[in-house]
Amino acid sequence: MLVNVKTMLEEAKEGKYAVGAFNTVNLETTRAIIEAAKELSSPVIVQLTEKTFDYAGGRAIFHLIKNIAEFYAKDIPIGIHLDHGKNFEIVERAMDIGFTSVMYDGSRKEYADNLAATKKIVKIAHGRGVVVQAELGNVPYLGEVQMENIDWEKYMTNPDQAVQFTEETGIDTLAVAIGNAHGFFRERGEPDYERLSSIAERVHIPLVMHGASDWHNGRVVEVIGRGISCFNVDTALRMAFIGGLRGALLSEEETDLRKILTQAKERTKVAVKEKILAFGSAGKA
């Protein structure tokens, strides 16, 4: 069943576990996410980016997710969310399609510009009953930054700004930067746990962790204990899907696409389940 993402994440915050927000691009990934959640009785968020709108058709994939959620997972709380909406147009397009949860990502802008743009979008979104996640600080992408010698200070969320930003914009959830980065990095420094604690002590909305899908479970548990209520997971699923596909393609005789893609889906489902177990959301549906 489809539920309100804000309520889902507030319950996670209260219960001291995190919900996985898994990126989908197609039918197989969507089914892997929802089947894993159903088999583990876990709430889950299925999310997609603008690039996936362009790839699959925003309306087509939204209704695909919605139909699977409503007909095949009636007892499982499922949120559908726009991930990394980089401008007003894509956020508006998502709301027109029926998304009730969006991220406006103004993290590449100067602080004052991010604040002003986020505030404007929140006002419009709340007027339409849509909840908004924003990002403060900057969670970089592999490829966008050097892998070594990153000046993390430049990217991290400032706790004082986080308080002001949250109060002034009225956002529902906040993505934080504490040394996390999108993609699988060969080298990873230790996250700034103290910074996370100082944000969580003063910002009372659910906090979201992007760019941590290659973190080991020790780190995951540590940041949940310090106030993270949601993890975005994309790269780990793509790696699993591609691994499953490669394995399936080793059999040269197989020409049934459904059988090939099922192997990719099953491998993805295993990866989703591992994350759900690490996040502590199994059994919380």
Nearer to Zn ion, 42 or 47 (CB): 47
Identify residue 57 by its one-letter amino acid code: G
Q: Among ligand G3H, ligand 13P, Zn ion, none, what does residue 52 contact (CB within 5–8 Å per kind)?
A: ligand G3H
CA distance 129 to 4: 10
Nearer to ligand G3H, 49 or 198 (CB): 49
Catalytic residues: 83
210 part of the interface to Zn ion, by CB under 5 A: yes
How deeply is 260 buried, as exposed, middle or buried, from its count of CB atoms within 10 A (0-12, 13-18, 19+)? middle
236 part of the interface to ligand 13P, by CB under 6 A: yes
CA distance 198 to 219: 17
- Both tokens assigned to 205: 């909305």
Element (H, E) at 44: strand 44-48
Residue from 27, 124, 170, 183 binding ligand 13P (CB under 6 A): 183
Least gap, CB of 137 to Zn ion (angstroms):
12
Range in contact with ligand 13P (rule: CB under 6 A) among 62-70, 185-193, 209-217, 255-263: 209-217
Residue from 73, 233, 272, 282 binding ligand 13P (CB under 6 A): 233
Closest CA to 137 of 116, 160, 158: 158
- Are residues 251 and 7 in contact, defined by beta-carbon separation less than 8 angstroms? no
User: Applying CB under 6 A, which residues contact ligand G3H?
Assistant: 23, 49, 51-52, 83-84, 182, 234
- Residues of this chain that interact with ligand 13P (CB under 6 A) are 23, 83-84, 182-183, 210-213, 232-236
